[in-house]
Structure 1
Amino acid sequence: MIELRSDTFTLPSRAMIRAMSEAELGDDVYGEDPTVRALEERSAELLGKGAACLMPSGTMANLASIMVHAPRGSKMLVGTESDIYIYEAAGATVCGGVMYEPVPNRADGTLALADLARGFPDDPTDEQFALPSLICLENTQNRCGGVVLPQSYLREVREFATARGVAVHLDGARLFNAATALGIPAAEITRYADSVQFCLSKGLSAPIGSMAAGDEEFVRELRRVRKMLGGGMRQAGVIAAAGLVALDNLERLHEDHAHARRLAQGLAEIDGIDTDPEAVQTNIVMFRVTDARFTWQTFVEAVGRHGLALAELGHGRLRAVTHSGVSARDVDEAVAIVRRVLSNGESH
């Protein structure tokens, strides 16, 4: 099976498995796991933040961060194409009593400042309205094709939020893909956010875990919320050890980006596929099937029978994600499968 549905479908490297088996352990709920502490310190350093906290998942990292920033009964402004809004089970409302105010994502992943401004009531003293307390951004932006938000835009949002007295949280699940694409340290991106989370278990290829970071006061409160949500872990150094290996191998992401461009270029040469290789910025390739013999469902089923797994992101858009489990040979084989299926018209 060539797994291009998600960059979470990766096996830990031998180095990760060895580090996990040899990790020095303690009770992380009491802050006594030295491997977790090392990962948290390393993460905070990479992000330019005062502290960081190991979380079981990116969903919990985002949720806990939102609950720290946003009081019950307030609202957060979030993109209509964001993972927080679409894929995280309305946790902010269910668990935190926080209202979502969806703001349209533009094609480049950004939220127009004018649209953000409409989320603020003309009269903040009017008790009829929930007041904004948080702006959430996503970088890279998954459903917009893994695009990287411009640094100039992040600075504008930071200034906009500061002027209105609200916080900025960055869902950086694929943060290091953004940093790799821009050729800058991750801290240059996160400097514009009050808090950030990134996933160890996507392109970084660890088997589990995410990190959330901010200043020391934020992280102290974050740990309390983590415990409340059931995210307190004991000998979590077995997880953290893989994360440390991942952070020592960030340069590998260049390979994923090259494979994504290779995939997009190959797909663009096939009749019946609509994609733009020039739009590929990181490790995500978006495309559509234009061959009238297929729906997206029958196409995904057909290539699946040949061992190629793809994901659909709504409105017939298909997504392929490159990761450490995908080689250049796999990319070429995936292109060959698509060409073969469309050539033979295997819709059933």
Structure 2
Amino acid sequence: MGFAAIDLRSDTVTRPDAAMRRAMADAEVGDDVLDHDPTMARLEERVASELGYDDALWVPSGSMGNLIALMLHLQRGDAFLAPENAHVLGSELGTAAWLAQGMPRVLPHDAGPGRPTPETVSAATAAGPYFALKTTLLCLENTHNFAGGSVFDVAEWKALLGAARTAGLLVHLDGARVWNAAVALGVQPGDLTSGADTVQVCLSKGLGAPVGSMLASDSARIAEARRIRKMLGGGVRQGGILAAAGLLALDNIGSLAGDHANAKLLADGLRERGWTVEDPQTNIVLADGPLSVAELADLGIAAVTVVGKIRFVTHRDVSEADIRETLDRL
């Protein structure tokens, strides 16, 4: 007998619900490239306000949002710092070097998974000879995907910002899942983004939107970011159809707590069944166990392999009953 599929590969597999589909169908639209689609404008204003910035820009993907930020901040041959296994280092097809023309430098996770210390940032920017790389940018990731959805809190964020400013660095935050970090810590998303020069946040990871991320910054940078987005082919016409989904996605942030609870349930159950599991802080579970991804698939459980471990990601389309069913199959 075949198993019904339980998809734990990513929180990007969620599908828009009926209310979101209706909102998309009914959205007020215009030509966003020519005169700024009205629904898109409302989404951008709301995200900028919630994150504590002057302005924001919708982009098709988080990877494009990160790339635009790096293109804003880096001059040809500048070095930038990012934590080991950060998305901008290994999951964006080298665009940081290819298109933004920056040289990546890896920071170790000496404060814990996904979390460099301010001291490491300072040491990485110590003055060298005139022919040394010039480091100009710090990229951080909260939550850190390949460190198991790990979180750094407000105090750590401020300390890292302080170290970056002392070293004369600009700061970009890849906050694709910063909503999860905020829910896990019980703070507002803006508490974890305030002070960065740019921040990218995702609407399609766990919140239900079918597509879209946001880049927030000051008005001058966002005006230039809009030009770069067009250069990269990211301009949309009747973008309000997609922005309407984004507006409803923001209303789903509170539901992420349920995803975190399901991740803990899954982690505890895996551990009871002989798996070695890192305690999840949010909705990502990294585990070593007796079954491969292919063997899990035979049980109707979809997962992926990252950094040598099996990754399970809980999301709004997977219920507590689905997690219990997963554990029963194991």
Q: Does 1:53 align with 2:53?
A: no
Structure 1 counterpart of 2:321, from 290, 312, 329:
329
Q: How does 1:9-28 map to 2 (within 5 A)?
A: 9-28=13-32
1:116 corresponds to which residue?
Answer: 121
2:83 corresponds to which residue?
Answer: 79
1:172 corresponds to which residue?
Answer: 175
- What is the letter of the counterpart of residue 300 of structure 1? V
Q: Does 1:311 align with 2:314?
A: no
Taking the aligned partners of 2:35 and 2:7, their CA distance within structure 1 comes to: 37
Taking the aligned partners of 2:231 and 2:67, their CA distance within structure 1 comes to: 12
Q: Does 1:8 align with 2:12?
A: yes
1:274 corresponds to which residue?
Answer: 276
Partners of 1:108 and 1:149 within 8 A in 2: no
Q: Which runs of 5+ in 2 are unaligned?
A: none
- What is the letter of the counterpart of residue 287 of structure 1? A
Aligned residue for 1:282, secondary structure, equals coil
- What is the letter of the counterpart of residue 175 of structure 1? V
Shift of 1:121: 4.6
Partners of 1:11 and 1:207 within 8 A in 2: yes
Taking the aligned partners of 2:35 and 2:310, their CA distance within structure 1 comes to: 43
Q: Percent identity?
A: 42
Alpha-carbon displacement from aligned partner over 1:46-81 (angstroms, at most 9, x marks no partner)? 101110000000000000011101112211101122
Partners of 2:84 and 2:114 within 8 A in 1: no
The total of aligned residue pairs comes to 325
- What is the letter of the counterpart of residue 300 of structure 2? G
Aligned residue for 2:184, secondary structure, equals helix
Shift of 1:319: 0.9
2:106 corresponds to which residue?
Answer: 102
Taking the aligned partners of 1:115 and 1:249, their CA distance within structure 2 comes to: 36
Q: Does 1:30 align with 2:34?
A: yes
Shift of 1:133: 1.3
Q: How does 1:217-256 map to 2 (within 5 A)?
A: 217-256=220-259
Shift of 1:108: 3.1
Taking the aligned partners of 1:158 and 1:227, their CA distance within structure 2 comes to: 30
Structure 1 counterpart of 2:186, from 174, 183, 188:
183
Partners of 1:82 and 1:141 within 8 A in 2: yes
1:341 corresponds to which residue?
Answer: none
Q: 1:204 to 1:31 in 2, by over 3 A?
A: farther
Alpha-carbon displacement from aligned partner over 1:263-304 (angstroms, at most 9, x marks no partner)? 111111103x1114xx22111111101x4xx5xxxx211110
Shift of 1:117: 2.6
Taking the aligned partners of 2:182 and 2:221, their CA distance within structure 1 comes to: 24
Alpha-carbon displacement from aligned partner over 1:170-202 (angstroms, at most 9, x marks no partner)? 100101000001111101111131211111111
TM (norm. structure 2) is 0.95
1:285 corresponds to which residue?
Answer: 285
Partners of 2:68 and 2:229 within 8 A in 1: yes
Q: Does 1:42 align with 2:46?
A: yes
- What is the letter of the counterpart of residue 274 of structure 1? T
Taking the aligned partners of 2:35 and 2:113, their CA distance within structure 1 comes to: 40
Partners of 1:73 and 1:97 within 8 A in 2: yes
- What is the letter of the counterpart of residue 104 of structure 1? P
1:158 corresponds to which residue?
Answer: 161
Aligned residue for 1:7, secondary structure, equals coil
Aligned residue for 1:111, secondary structure, equals coil
2:209 corresponds to which residue?
Answer: 206
Taking the aligned partners of 1:184 and 1:201, their CA distance within structure 2 comes to: 21
Q: Which runs of 5+ in 1 are unaligned?
A: 339-348
Shift of 1:314: 2.1
- What is the letter of the counterpart of residue 321 of structure 1? V
RMSD: 1.3
Alpha-carbon displacement from aligned partner over 1:4-38 (angstroms, at most 9, x marks no partner)? 01000011011110000001111111342001000
2:294 corresponds to which residue?
Answer: 301
Q: Does 1:136 align with 2:139?
A: yes
